[in-house]
Structure 1
Amino acid sequence: MMRKLGKALIALLVLVAVVAIGLMVWEPLSVAVATPPPPHRYDSVIARDTFGVPHIFGRTDPDVAYGVAYAHAEDDFATLQEAVAMSRGRLGAMTGADGAKVVYALHLLGARATVSRDYMKQPADVRALLDGYATGLNTYAARHPGEVRLARLFPVNGQDIATGFVLRTPFFFGLDQYLGALSGDTPLPREAAGATPDAPDPRALPAAQDAAGEGNMNGSNAFVVAPKRSADGFTRVVSNSHQPWKGPVAWYELVVHSGTGWNFAGATFPGVPYPVLGHNEHLGWTNTVNRPDLVDVYKLTLGQGGDTYLFDGKQVPLQATRVWLHVKIGPFVLPIPKTVYRSVHGPVIVNKSGAFALHYGGADQLRMVEEYHRLTRAGNFAEWQRALAIQGVSATNFLYGDAAGNIAYFYNAAFPNRKPGFDYRNVLPGDTSGDLAAGTVPWGQVPRNVNPASGFLANANNTPFQAAGEGSEMKPGDYSPLLGIETDTTNRGTRAVELMGKDGSISAADLERIKYDTGVSKLSWTARWYDDIARVDPQGDPALVAAKALMATWHWRFDGNNPAEALAAILLRAGQSWHYPRKAKKDPRTELAKAAAYLTQHFGRIDPPLGTVLRLRHGQVDLPLDGAPDVLRAASTWDEAEDGRLVVNHGDSFIMFMTWDKAGRVSSTSIQPYGAATTRPQSPHYADQAPLFVAHKTKPVNFWPTDLRRNVERVYRP
């Protein structure tokens, strides 16, 4: 009997071992290997400047794209692989549950189906560019097999690169918030729930200003000055887009030069074959996230079997597709079945409350791939506007300046066509075509502010009706409420217009001072939040009495020169966590107590210097920072380290100052929080820009080859 039990146990252990091995190896064997791009010999040259920033030269644009991929892989191949795994539906197998959620979105939005249908419709030069980039990744992977994180992930092709664009684009205007809310059966973002967005303080609107008059809560800043407002008659653009300091949407700086006349300096994201902001010889721009209401939610009336829905009096089949999400759990990859649904409106999520369809701006199209490239190649304002009019980029503000002295702000969005008489901020009935319209609002109706009389423009994720100062603003009444333009303000937006409006002759030094400003405007929402804190009743609590007394000494800045700044910064983060997402206001008494307790626990006092608390840490680099959430010197989010330090991970990231002189010649400087090689600790450029970044300093971009030759570290062919 014991012998039989022993044999059974051995057999069971063998079976478990076989299953375990199968779970470890089945996923790569189950995936189809992509067809690589057509064979082509790419001729690229990479010149690294003294900060390791790659300047990529090529005879053609695809030659350059090949070099872009190879250079980026040298500096951050780990993150590039995540971008590729996302596009190929394998991110869950690489990173686990969080990656599987992204793959679910990939299937739900039909990103690969969109690319399969539309890829060959793209211009041949754009497809060649994507193929060149994919080949650069394949070449690096083949030469460095030990760095490849997932078997059979390579080769990739141009379709894989294009899929990443389709999937990520709607997340810039917050579609992911709707997906998360519906999947979790939790309340929708406030626009969809029918609440009116927070109106700005009337005193902060441009019409009442003196001389001048968050995409997500982390935000971005942009500043543009025309020659007539500039102290020296130059045109200036400041790019200050806020992104995470590492990861799949971290900025990567580069300069490209093609023999066909494509010359551009700026930054890109992992998986993108060209810069998406910066400048060429003639013009430049930057982006900030805007928050138009581009998502409409419809509740479907399902049939008795749940496989149809009522639409215009008929039962219509609910499209259902079974997909498998591959989820890494420890050493294993488990297959998780999931069904994705689709109606005539768009993707459908079924939860306990019912079936909800999403209809959103810029859905199911691939035009952004061409648009971004055409923008970088534009030679003047008219050409640049024609590229923007492609309307492939679903959202984000564009702030522009050029050598001819033009400045402009385009509140860019692919506004869905909507019908009067329906409240698109609420969940709509999905059983009728009466509230559903196809297509996008024409380009001519997209809000814009071109060459305002004030001579300046700014945006910091605030309403577009606060950008240029008194007498120069767009008027809300000129635009249909069906566009869903936000009316929210941020402290950064109010402060930027406030500072620029008071300066009648903005010099380069003035603009730099404004960009690094750490102040809180007395006209902003932040002032009202701090007023609420000042009115807190301590009720005899000594800790609250001390905290209130300290806050009363604060000088309304985060420059490191006042003992209340660390406490004020934590409180501002608490306020930002409810204000920008339009959530219920937090209790100021509770937040004051929590902030004081945190500082006391970790520092033994409530008044440690800001630079002691707020840190830039990367590898062995550990430096003090100034700034705070929602100030122009942005330290938006942070991790709480074991020693209590607040280690910033998001905020001011890639910063670029662009200038066109009176002769129309461009020059620029830039800076990153870490360096060019953010995931390569052995590289001298892992964190070499950090000391400059914390000191509010920049480095030369060396856009012109003659300047690069004096500042080159190495030159090679990849």
Structure 2
Amino acid sequence: MARRRFRARLPMAALTAVAVLSTLAASGPRVPEAAGLGPDKPTIRYTEYGIPHIIASDWAGLGTGYGYAVAKDNICTLADTYLMVNAQRSRYLGPDGKASPGERQNTTTNLNSDLYFQRMNDDRVVERLIDQPAPNGPEPEVKEAIRGYVQGYNRYLAETGVNNISDPACRGAAWVRPITELDVYRHAHAEIIMGTADVLLDGEVNAAPPGASAAPSAKAPSAKAPSPSPSPSPEETATKIRDALAVSRQQSMGSNALAVGSQGVSGGTGMLLANPHFPWQGKNRMWQSQLTIPGKANVSGASLLGFPAVNIGHNDDVAWTHTVATVAPFGLFDVQVDPLNPTKYLVDGTWQQMTSQQVGVDVRKPDGSLGQVTRTLWATRYGPITTSVLGNPLPWVVSAHAVRDVNMDNLRALNTWFHLDQAKDVNDVVNTLETTEGVPFFNTIATDRKGNALYADIQATPNITDAHAQSCLTMTGQLLFNQTLRLPNVPPVSIFDGKRSACDWPHDPNAVAPGLLDPHKQPRLIRSDFVGNANDSAWLANPAQPLSFPRVMGDTAAPRSLRTQELILTAQNRINGNDGLPGRGFTPENMRQLLFADNSRAADLALNATVSACQGAPFGLVLVDGNLVNVSEACPILAAWKDHDFTADSRGSWLFENYWFQLLGGQAIEKLPWRVPFDAKDPVHTPNSLDSGSSAVRDALARAVLALRNAGVPLNARLADIQKITRNGEQIPIHGAVSEVGVLNVVTPGLVDGKLDITFGSSFIQQVRFTAEGPPQTSSVLAYSQSANPNSPHYADQTKLFSAGQWVTERFTENDIAASPALEIKVLD
């Protein structure tokens, strides 16, 4: 069966230079004197779509230009973030509003968020990290860049004035203020720990011993014995947490990445496709820029808002990206408590007293006056006590559970990205990852001018070797660890025996910091054909060379997600010339085309069987959930959907997506009624052959048909008529689909402030090709555009490009920048 049939696509965006300054070099970061740039004047050159190219003579100047430009585009989002990390949301916005401290949107209340961050601020967590020498503290150049960033941000705010901010989200708001360097470090730290926040924050700030309340109180807990209460079994606890983690993972960040080496590139030495699936709203939006210090650095790409560096991008010699990894950045410790004094816990046969901490935050009352809420928060030698994981209770009765977060002491990530921005080849990338261990919960995929393709899952990983896990996991911990290992994309979470101090994460002398896994034990692979990742574990970065690693980093010999299969097959078929496109090997044109083909691996595997099941329904009728559903209309619609794509004009794709969700029903993909089960010897092609005679298939189709009819959605609706977002009154169709259907271009629709939007999905997409000589050839598109300000001209311009399947040809050389017909120059005197 042919995997795809390609049809004509919309033409790529062509940005034609109308003028070239002959005095400029063809490439290289030389300051163009014609632009009036001096050595001590940070300068921002804006080209098409508001992309800033920032040039300065030092790191402080570079930070100044970055801070000014990013504030101009997104000051309300940034000011809101600084409000959060300073624990002042309840003061200005009230305690009951929603906050987004982690990966996802609106996961907790303002009050809980404030208590979480105020505890860290009271403990001076970030200040202590700033004061440490590198690599655990920021390097001098990082400090210079952040110092400059603060100056640039504050300069923009001073020039504009709070009351004149064009974004209505914060115009005139009392919480918009000049920032300090500490604000920026606190924000960076919040981003680094966000992999833990959504999961455990509420449980930490609401934890109270038996007989006490988490409500505002400064009283010590009673010493009387707690009232008996039923505790869930280890099996129940493990299953509930496992299922919650799986659902959370589906609703949070992800990514695809493909690095191609010299053997897989047509007309070049190396190529990279970066396709992070990040949030479209809030503090985790990405923002595009080029940062240049002549003779020192020249890097282009995107970063999370407020990071004066490039997190995903390229320089003259290396291109890299990140994908969310299958490493849990936290672990739990089960501590036995004294039934008569449950704030005492047992370690090595000795009772120890938990530490208590009074944490208070200002809260705006309904009448506008201010009050204060104070809570007593508890901690052990391992970390804070939590009484829930994603809302699932961990009762504090016979024992309590403490949290250790591998990233709580991590500001090293700032150093990591500072060095990645200056890497010369993939070996430099590996060295940076090993010597900083700062990447918080990401894989790194890279390629270089020399023709090497790198996959590396070298990050801040808990030092949990297989032997340590075997020795120290509790009964619930064993169940949870093993169950999460069997779920694609879900990190294995540990619960260790806290009664034994030996079960704490040990210090490895080869690691950068205590409690970290030796970076040399973490997987990496360099090849000349390809490597890739789509959020599964490192096992099949390239199926020709499966990797092994400690189990804490993910599973092996287990089913891959459909998106992982799609990524691998896309790479293999293009390199072998088996995908219906001309020639063999990747070019910039076919790499872009393959991503926006929006092909569904689920449809490749299951559509024909689904059509057969539909056609086999007696008289076209299926009885499901007490409803007699006529599915006959769906059969020809699905049969006609031959391209298996989720492009804007596709008909049948929305019906198939709804059917597929009904069929999955929250199960892992291998649980579906396949005739050929998963085979670890053929993980890219199994499971396959859906059983068309299964009642589950017919029932799922009937439920999808019924749901669409009840919603008033035609079964043959174009995707563009259903999946769209509104920007300033204009509805923009969005192509792509959710991860579960195996489409690389992931988009996840949802409600944002009561309106349909994309909550997660393709964000900063970049394609880079290196040749033996000359500058890299790059195109990109920032799916949600540069600015969150509805009054900005760059609020939806790239969103419309993304909708049309078009890309921006990057302007990387000084020649290209000067030739932009949209060129605007801002010199920061």
1:67-106 matched pairs, under 5 angstroms: 67-95=65-93, 96-98=97-99, 99-106=110-117
> In the TM superposition, what whole-angstrom CA distance separates every residue of 1:519-576 from its partner, at most 9, and x where no partner exists?
2225999889979996998227453534763546544332355532111223445678
Asked if 1:381 corresponds to 2:426, the answer is: yes
What is the match of residue 591 of structure 2?
A: 511
Aligned partner (choices 470, 473, 480) of residue 550 of structure 2: 480
Hey, what's the Cα distance between the residues in 2 that align with 1:165 and 1:386? Answer: 22
**Compared CA separation, residues 513 and 154, structure 1 to 2 (3 A):** same
Distance 1:530 1:408, change over 3 A: farther
Measured against aligned partners, the alpha-carbon deviations of 1:363-394 in whole angstroms (never above 9, x if no partner) come to: 32321121211211223333332221210122
Query: Retained in 2: the 8 A contact 1:108–1:341?
Result: no
Contact 2:204 2:385 in 1 (8 A): no
Query: Residue deviations 1:322-362, cap 9 Å, x none?
Result: 11244556673653322322211122124671131012333
Cα distance in 1 for partners of 2:431, 2:812 equals 25
Q: Is the 8 A contact 1:521 1:527 kept in 2?
A: no
Opposite residue 652 of structure 2, the aligned amino acid is A
Q: Tell me the distance in 1 between the aligned counterparts of 2:234 and 2:40.
A: 47
Q: 2:810 aligns with which of 701, 705, 708?
A: 701
**Cα displacement (A) at 1:180:** 4.8
Question: Retained in 1: the 8 A contact 2:278–2:284?
Answer: yes
User: Does residue 421 of structure 1 match 2:471?
Assistant: yes
Q: Name whichever of 515-524 and 229-238 sits farther off.
A: 515-524
1:525-564 correspondence runs (5 A): 538-539=622-623, 541-543=627-629, 545-546=631-632, 549=635, 550-551=637-638, 554-555=641-642, 556-560=644-648, 562-564=650-652
Among candidates 152, 157, 162, match of residue 145 of structure 1: 162
Contact 2:184 2:306 in 1 (8 A): yes
Q: Does 2:293 correspond to 1:255? A: no
Aligned counterparts of 1:336 and 1:666: Cα–Cα separation in 2: 55
Distance, in Å, in 2 between the alignment partners of 1:239 and 1:171 is 21
- Asked whether the 8 Å contact 1:92–1:327 carries over to 2, the reply is yes
Task: Name the CA distance, whole Å, in 2 between partners of 1:485 and 1:103.
Answer: 36
Report the 3-state secondary structure (helix = DSSP H, G, I; strand = E; otherwise coil) of the residue aligned with 2:320: strand
The equivalent of 1:447 in structure 2 is 523
Q: CA deviation at 1:114?
A: 2.3
What is the aligned partner in structure 1 of residue 183 from structure 2?
A: 160
Distance 1:381 1:190 in 2: 44
Shift of 1:591: 6.1
Output one character per residue of 1:38-86: Cα deviation in whole Å (capped at 9) or x when no partner: xxx9832111112111111111111111111111111111001022112
Q: State the match for 2:145 in structure 1.
A: 129
Q: Which moved more, 1:178-187 or 1:409-418?
A: 178-187
1:597 & 1:52 partners in 2: Cα distance? 45
Does the 8 Å contact 2:79/2:177 carry over to 1? no
SS in 2 for 1:263: strand
For residue 596 of structure 1, give the secondary structure of its aligned residue in structure 2: helix
Structure 1 CA distance, aligned partners of 2:234 and 2:89? 27
Amino acid at match of 2:162: P
SS in 1 for 2:421: helix
1:9 alignment partner in structure 2? none
Percent of residue pairs identical: 20
For residue 72 of structure 1, give the secondary structure of its aligned residue in structure 2. Answer: helix
Q: What amino acid is the match of 1:65?
A: G
> Which whole-Å CA distance do the structure 2 matches of 1:663 and 1:345 have between them?
53
In structure 2, the partner of 1:24 is: none
- Give the match's secondary structure for 1:538: strand
The answer for the alignment partner of 1:223 in structure 2 is 258
TM-score under structure 2 length normalisation? 0.71
The reply to whether residue 494 of structure 1 matches residue 561 of structure 2 is no
Amino acid of the structure 1 residue aligned with 2:148: G
- Corresponding residue for residue 194 of structure 2: 171
1:394 touches 1:414 (CA, 8 Å); kept in 2? Answer: yes
- Where 1:54 maps in the other structure, the secondary structure is strand
Residues 67, 136 of structure 1: 8 Å contact kept: yes
Determine if contact 1:408/1:457 at 8 Å carries over to the other structure.
yes
Q: Following TM superposition, by how much is the alpha carbon of 1:581 offset from its aligned partner in structure 2, in angstroms?
A: 12
> For residue 320 of structure 2, what is the aligned residue in structure 1?
285
Matched, 1:307 2:343: yes
Q: Distance in 1 between matches of 2:592 and 2:710?
A: 37
Q: 1:353 is aligned with what amino acid? A: P
Q: Secondary structure at the match of 1:86?
A: helix
Work out whether residues 595 and 745 of structure 2, in 8 Å CA contact, stay in contact via their aligned partners in 1. Answer: no
Distance 1:497 1:483 in 2: 20
Tell me by how many angstroms 1:260 deviates.
5.1
Output the CA distance in 1 between the equivalents of 2:68 and 2:437: 30
Match of residue 467, structure 1, among 527, 541, 544: 541
The one-letter code of the counterpart of 2:749 is W
Offset at residue 129 of structure 1 (A) = 1.5
Alignment-derived partner of residue 394 in structure 1: 440
Q: Which amino acid aligns with 1:305?
A: N
Candidates 631, 636, 657, aligned match of 1:569: 657
Distance of aligned partners of 1:570 and 1:619 in 2 relative to their CA distance in 1, 3 Å threshold: farther
In the alignment, what sits opposite 1:639? 750
- Supply the distance in 2 between the matched residues of 1:577 and 1:158 (Cα, whole angstroms): 47
Give the alignment's TM-score, normalised by structure 1.
Answer: 0.82
Match of 2:794 among 677, 682, 685: 685
Deviates more, 1:112-121 or 1:326-335: 326-335
Distance change in 2, residues 1:553/1:669 (3 Å): closer
Q: 1:436 aligned to 2:467?
A: no
Residues 412, 664 of structure 1: CA spacing in aligned structure 2 closer, same or farther, 3 A cutoff?
farther
- Comparing 112-121 with 278-287, which one deviates more in the overlay? 112-121
Aligned pair in 2 of structure 1 residues 574, 258: CA closer, same or farther (>3 Å)? farther
2:623 aligns to what SS in structure 1? coil
1:210 corresponds in structure 2 to none
Q: Secondary structure at the match of 1:156?
A: coil
2:509 maps to none
Letter in 2 for 1:416: P
SS in 2 for 1:617: strand
| CA distance in 2: counterparts of 1:642 and 1:600, whole angstroms | 26
Shift of 1:582: 12
Which residue of structure 2 lines up, in the alignment, with residue 34 of structure 1? none
| Matched ranges for 1:523-672 at <5 A | 538-539=622-623, 541-543=627-629, 545-546=631-632, 549=635, 550-551=637-638, 554-555=641-642, 556-560=644-648, 562-572=650-660, 578=666, 592=701, 595-603=704-712, 605-630=714-739, 631-639=742-750, 647-663=757-773, 665-672=775-782
Q: Counterpart in 2 of 1:211?
A: none
Aligned to 1:167, what secondary structure does the other structure show?
Answer: helix
- Alpha-carbon spacing, 1:64–1:315, altered in 2? closer, same or farther (3 Å): same
Does structure 2 retain, via aligned residues, the 8 Å contact 1:215–1:289?
no
Cα distance in 1, alignment partners of residues 280 and 183 from structure 2: 25
Residues 269, 616 of structure 1: alpha-carbon distance in 2 compared, 3 angstrom cutoff: same
* Alignment partner, residue 372 of structure 2: 335
Letter in 1 for 2:533: N
How much has 1:627 moved relative to structure 2? 1.9
Aligned partner of residue 345 in structure 1, secondary structure: coil
Q: Report Cα offsets for 1:400-445 as digits up to 9, x if no partner.
A: 0111112100113322123142335253332221322232111111
Give 1:598 deviation, angstroms.
4.4
Whole-Å separation in 2 of the counterparts to 1:261 and 1:597: 61
Closer/same/farther in 2, CA of residues 184 and 104 from structure 1, 3 Å limit: closer
CA–CA distance in structure 2, aligned partners of residues 371 and 241 of structure 1: 18
Tell whether the 8 Å contact from 1:134 to 1:156 is kept in structure 2 after alignment.
Answer: yes
Deviations 1:78-103 (A, max 9, x none): 00102211222223434534333333
Distance 1:362 1:182, change over 3 A: closer
- Counterpart position of 2:58: 60
- The amino acid that maps onto 2:518 is P
